[in-house]
Structure formats: C-alpha cells, structure tokens
A and B are shown apart, each in its own frame.
Chain A
Amino acid sequence: MKWKHKHLLGIDQLNGEEIKILLEKGSQYRDWLEHSPKKLTRLSGYYLINLFFEASTRTRVSFEMAGKLLGMEVVNFTNELSSLNKGESFRDTVRTLARMKADALVIRHRSSGIPLYISQFLPFHIINAGDGIREHPTQALLDLLTMKRDGIDFTRNTVAIIGDILHSRVARSLSIGLKKLGSQVIFSGPPTLIPKGIEILEGQVVYPVEEAVRQADIIYLLRIQKERQEAGFFPSAKEYAHFFGLKEKPKGADGRWKKIMHPGPVNRGLEIGSSLIEEENSLIEEQVSCGLAIRMAVLETLILEGRMDE
C-alpha cells in the first residue's frame, strides 16, 4: 500500500490502521536489532538532517542511528554552532537548509507548531521530534511498540499517565495514540499540572494518584522538571515524591506487578523510586530500544512510501 502522508507531524494525523502498520514494521526492526553486524542499504543515498534546537540524548541519537542503520547519510545540526547565533532568522536558517537538498529533516523545537510551519515551505519529509508542548509522535509510537511487544491487548488496556500533563507533549501524543488503538487513558498528578480542557484528549482525570494507579494496567510516569517547582506548580521535590511519585512496585488485583514506563530522562527518587527503574516490571530500558526500531520504521515508511505531493 501507498503511505498517504509526506510528513510525521503528529500522532493526531494518523489513524489506527496506520499506527498498526508502523508498529508492525517497528516490531520487525526491534527483532532485527538483536543481531550483528547491522547494516541495511534500503535508504542508502538518502540524506537526513537532524535539527535539534532543544537538548536531547535519546531522540537525537536514535534518529541518527536509525538513519545510519538504514544506510542514510546523517547530518547533525546543533543550535549553538549555527548562524542563528549570528542573528539569522529562524526562517532564513531553515530556507538555507532547504537548499541543501536533503531528503528528510528531523526537528525538535521549543515552540509548538514549528514542524507544521516549516513543512509548508521545505521540500523534505519533516519528522517532528518534539515541538513545544504539542506533540512528540515518535515517542508515542515507541511507547505503543513497547506495550505491543509486552503482549498488551490495546482494546482491554488502561494506561495511567501521571505527572506534568500540562507541559507534556509526550502525554498528548501518547494519549491520542492509545485512544486510536482502543485503550483507556487516565490522567493524574498535581491538579496544577492537569490542564483545563483536557477532555479533548478523551482521558479521564482520576485523583488521587493511588486511585489512578489502582485502576490502570500500565503506569506511565512523566518527567517532572525543576522549573515547574520554581514556577509554583507544586511546593517541593520532597512533597512531589511523597504524593505524586511512584514509590512502590504497583500490584494488580490479580497479584501480578503492573508495568512501569517513563519517557526518560528519569529523575530518580522524584517521579519514580530509584529501585523501581531496573525492576523486571519496568519497561523503561526497553522503551529506548523500541525507540530506535520505530524511528527506522518511520524513516523507511516516509521516504520509500510517503507521498511527496501532499
């Protein structure tokens, strides 16, 4: 089948079937990653520009690796060394890049809507690697892939997303993706960090956190940033950890441990107890490997099958 999208700007643009196609392909790549030596030539001769205006380890490295594993040439652009620091406007910088005749551009930017904006005039496939507090589609896809490979039946699954929903592009993308696959979504955390208007994400807000954990099959903890405390959303790290952090391994009514996920990087002892990260019910490290696999699937699908006339 032909992939009908030129870009991956958000999970919102995909339907359930399209998500499943990406997950299927991602799952195959995840298996393939276990073998060495690893080198494919499917995308050899294609150029990828990694354009990161915000700090990132996981996402940037995994896009770079995903491209290279598929045979692509990858160019990393970092803000500090760019002409933006010489006063060039964002638009001019991006238009300059446009003349480089690359094939795909991965972009992360602090401003919500930037990928959509540049997709309107850049002749590349644009992949959103996180825009402000709007979307982070490859994060949602890797989370869904991790769940799928853990044997989750999405139609009988409840995920509790806990923490700073207000500022989280991860929470937005993941909840949208989960709903498209038929899962139930619960939000919890400090009320200051749960936005008014959250109904649009079709999740249910459940207080307190303990109750949200009790109702869920999977506990998805969000990273809490120090700036949020400074901005007065909650009083202290100590209080956050006590009331909103996960301190104990959550057990289901059936006696089995509930799975724990986190997009990383983790604040140990804040949103999650330090000892929980490496427990057998934690999927946190597997999420990283699934991230690489799903980004391979996304690059391959967009470049080989994606429409260029969109």
Chain B
Amino acid sequence: MNKVLIKNGTLIFPHSNQMREADVLIDDGVIIQIGSGINDRKAETINASGYLVGPGFINLHVHFREPGEEKKEDFFSGSRAAVKGGFTSVLCMPNTRPPIDSPLLISYLLNRAREVGFINIFPAAAISLGLEGKMMTDVGLLMNAGAKALSDDGKCVKDSRLLYRLMTYSQYFHMPLILHEEDVDIAGEGQVNEGSMAVKMGYRSLPKTAEDSMIARDLVLAHSTGANVHFTHLSTAFGVKLIEWFQSQGAKVSADVTPHHLLLDDQSVIKYGSQAKVKPPLRDKTDIVALKEGIQRGIIGILASDHAPHTDEDKECDFNEAAFGISNLEISVPLYVKALIDDQFINWLDFWKLLSFHPAQFLGLTKKGILEIGMDADISIIDPETHHEVKVNEFASKGKNCPFNGWQLKGWPVATIVKGKILMKDSQLEV
C-alpha cells in the first residue's frame, strides 16, 4: 500500500503561517491532497484527531558515529531514535573516525544511508582535512558527492585565514558553514561553565569568553565575506547579542540552540554529574532567558539538538575524563515544548518553523519543511497534551547518556512518516 491518509489533525503550515483542521493524503512519497473530508479506501489511515500534523522535523546537528564508533551509535539505531523523536531528516556531523573529509567518505555514508534507508540522512563534510584546522577540504567535490554543509564540529576552526578563505570560496558552491565556537587556548582543559559551581566543585572552567570571542571573530568574517554562516549550539547571552547586531548589519548568519541549553543551567552538573557534562557547558539562568528571548525574537532561527550518544564507559567515569555530550534525539521535541511552548515564548507555528521550515531552507531542501501538495511526504505528528515519563532504558538510541531520565514531559511525537511510509504509529515504532 502506497497511500497514507492522515485524518482530522490540526495541520501546521509553517511557510504560510496557517493552522487549520484538515486531512492529508499521501501517495508514493508525495503529498497529493490537502483538504476536509478526504476519503480513500485504499489508503492506510492515521486518526490524528487532537494531534498536530506538520512537515517533518529536521535536525541539523546529530552524531550517528558512523564510521568508526558504531558502539556509541550507528545509522540504524540513530534512525530509529530519530523516528521516535519525530525527526524525518538529520544532518550528521563529520567528526567520525576517520573524519568525513573526502568525496569517497561522503559516498560511503550515502550508501549506508540508502542501506538503512528509512529516514533522510544527510552528511555534513569537514571544513578542514582530518579536522586538523589547516587545509581546506575539496568543497566543490564534496558538494557534488552529496555533502549538504561544512563543519569541523567538535572542534573550533582556530586558523582565521583558513576560515576567511573558506567563507569566500564556499560561496561559489552555495555551501553553508556550521561553526562550533570555542577558543581552544582559552578553553584549555575546561570542563564546566566558569562561575560559582566550578569554584565549588573544583572543576576547571570553560569560560563563555572562549565561545563569545570566536563568535565575534566569525561574525566579522561572515559579514565581510557575505558567507552563509550558522552558529550551532549557541549557549551565551552575549552570543545572542552579537549575532543580533550583525544580523542588523545584513550578515547572513543564523544560530541554533539545543534543548539542554534551554532547560539546564550549570548547577545541574551538581545534580546530574557527568550526564550534564556537555560542550558548550551548561551556562547560567540569565543565558537561558536570553536564548529563549533570542528564539522568540527570531535571532535564533533553528532548533538542533546536538544528539551526542556515548557508551556508559565513556560517561560513567571520573568526571574530568568523561566524554562531553548528551543523547537526546528521541526526547528533543518534548524538551523544546517544555522550554518554549509551556513558557509561552513561542506558538506552534513558530515551533514548526524552528524545527522544519528553517532548517530545510538552510540546507537548501526545497521539497521539505513545507506542507503543501507536491512536497515530500515527510510528516511529524505530535500529541500536544499527554504527559509521559522519559525512560532512558527505553531509548532506541544506543546512547543512554541523558540527564533528563525520569522527567515528565508532554508534546511527544506519536506518528512519523518519511517518504510516504509510516515509520511510527500510535507511538509504536514500525521499523
């Protein structure tokens, strides 16, 4: 059966700012009809009454760990976690082993994505060969092979000349850059946010200045070159201010925030230990407010979760030795609901823009992020009301490293459709 009919849902049209109750009919991977009272006996039907139905969520920042660290995550486990989390497309960061710095490796990843097959897995390629921050990768050849963006995520590009040249050069190929900002000389061996918690716990600190100074440098570079630059996992109030000012000057810069930087401050490290150890580190309450207001005012246009699965061995150890990162792909949507909808910073239309329409535009995915006839039938359906408990041991992801275990959340995805196929229905995975 190729047809799917979604009945009686509240449809969200983020590109045209509309919400209304209607049905959606899908055939052969494409949306073919939107309207009231659609009936099709040949179609598999999903009753979406009381649910929100919109274009599939796109996560610009995940670590699926292939190749090289499949014990943390692989394309299969990561894809299942994505479906559970309502994500129909993901962009995989290239800091794998080896790093994704050649067209051959992009081809390999796309072959793996085809093999696993059920969600849209897009690869990002490295900015620098071997993530060493020295020589630029073959931007054009990587694009031809299928890379959607460039990033040295996990590392900051220290060499200003490299980034300056790259920002100029990559525009020839319309290739967007995603930057992880952290001045390594300032960050040093820092583990947590600079401040009273670090003093109390005796952990070395990773000051906001390490992030802000690099954001400032790269905003200047982006402004001067005209490059399309995206700051991922933004965590500071000053970062929001800097980006806002450069946006007002016409720089083509954007940013995203993770759910944990919206819900946890650095005091969480005391409570959750290494499960709350992440880069950038969890910051202060004032930063959380500034990030939420930044989202509300459109300065931060994308939500991306930085899903960073690790094994227990990598996390359950000496705090200073523990890996940075949080596994959150399947709970990101309800976490964002808690941080942004419950506190009335944004409405559902904004929510869908931040998680679907804007990331689709950023990646140049013209058939995604839009609920309209002729668009790809990638659909996320969420139940805005019912509360469930986060149970890490039920994660589809291999990574159980998550401080949110036991939290009561609402706004869970209940059905996920990718390329016209139902991959989750009634909260049950079908893959």
Contacts and interface: CB of A to CB of B under 8 A. Distances in A.
Q: How large is the interface on B (under 10, 10 to 19, 20 to 34, 35 or more residues)?
A: 10 to 19
Chain A interface SS verdict (over half): loop
Contact of B172 (A191, A232, A236, A242): A191
B141 A242 contact: yes
B29 interface: no
Contacts of A233: 165, 169
A235 B136 contact: yes
Contacts of B139: 235, 239
Interface in A225-242: 232-236, 238-239, 242
Interface residues of A, number: 14
A208 B171 CA distance: 11
B140 A191 contact: no
Contacts of A238: 138, 141
A243 B140 contact: yes
B296 interface: no
A257 B254 CA distance: 45
Nearest to B227: A191
B162 interface: yes
Given A191-B172, A208-B172, A239 B140 contact: yes
Contacts of A235: 135-139, 169
Interface in A206-224: 207-208
Contacts of B138: 235-236, 238-239
Contacts of B140: 239, 242-243
B161 A232 contact: yes
Contacts of B311: none
Interface string A68-108: 00000000000000000000000000000000000000000
Contacts of A190: 169, 172
Contact of A243 (B135, B171, B172): B172
Given A192-B165, A239-B141, A242-B141, A207 B135 contact: no
B172 A207 contact: yes
A234 to B, nearest CB: 6
Contacts of A208: 172
A234 B141 contact: no
B45 interface: no
Contacts of A191: 168-169, 171-172
Contacts of A242: 140-141
A194 to B, nearest CB: 9
Q: Give the interface centre of B136, B137, B161, B162 by most chain A CB atoms within 10 Å.
A: B136
A192 B141 contact: no
Interface in B105-164: 135-141, 161-162
A234 B136 CA distance: 7
A208 B138 CA distance: 17
Contacts of B136: 232, 234-235
A193 B63 CA distance: 35
Nearest to A189: B172
Contacts of B141: 238-239, 242
B168 A192 contact: yes
Interface string B34-50: 00000000000000000
A243 B169 CA distance: 12
A189 B138 CA distance: 15
B149 to A, nearest CB: 16
A191 B169 CA distance: 5
A242 B135 CA distance: 18
Interface in A2-47: none
A207 B170 CA distance: 13
A192 to B, nearest CB: 5
Contacts of B161: 232
Contacts of B165: 192, 232-233
A235 to B, nearest CB: 4
Nearest to A190: B169
Contacts of B169: 190-192, 233-235
A232 B157 CA distance: 14
B162 A232 contact: yes
A232 B170 CA distance: 12
Nearest to B129: A235
A236 B323 CA distance: 34
A192 B173 CA distance: 13
Contacts of B168: 191-192
Nearest to A208: B172
B146 to A, nearest CB: 15
Interface string A231-270: 0111110110011000000000000000000000000000
B145 to A, nearest CB: 12
Nearest to B224: A196
B424 to A, nearest CB: 41
A192 B169 CA distance: 5
A238 B169 CA distance: 15
A190 B168 CA distance: 9
Interface string A195-213: 0000000000001100000
Contacts of B135: 232, 235
A239 B102 CA distance: 11
B340 to A, nearest CB: 38
B314 to A, nearest CB: 33
Interface in B329-387: none
A208 B162 CA distance: 22
Nearest to A243: B140
B247 to A, nearest CB: 22
Listed from nearest, the 10 A-B pairs whose CB atoms lie closest are A239-B138, A235-B136, A243-B140, A232-B165, A192-B169, A192-B168, A235-B138, A191-B168, A192-B165, A191-B172
24 contacts: A190-B169, A191-B168, A191-B169, A191-B171, A191-B172, A192-B165, A192-B168, A192-B169, A208-B172, A232-B135, A232-B136, A232-B162, A233-B165, A235-B135, A235-B138, A235-B169, A238-B138, A238-B141, A239-B138, A239-B141, A242-B140, A242-B141, A243-B140, A243-B172
Given A191-B168, A233-B165, A235-B169, 12 more contacts: A190-B169, A191-B171, A208-B172, A232-B162, A232-B165, A234-B136, A235-B135, A235-B136, A235-B137, A235-B138, A239-B141, A243-B140
Interface of A: 190-192, 207-208, 232-236, 238-239, 242-243
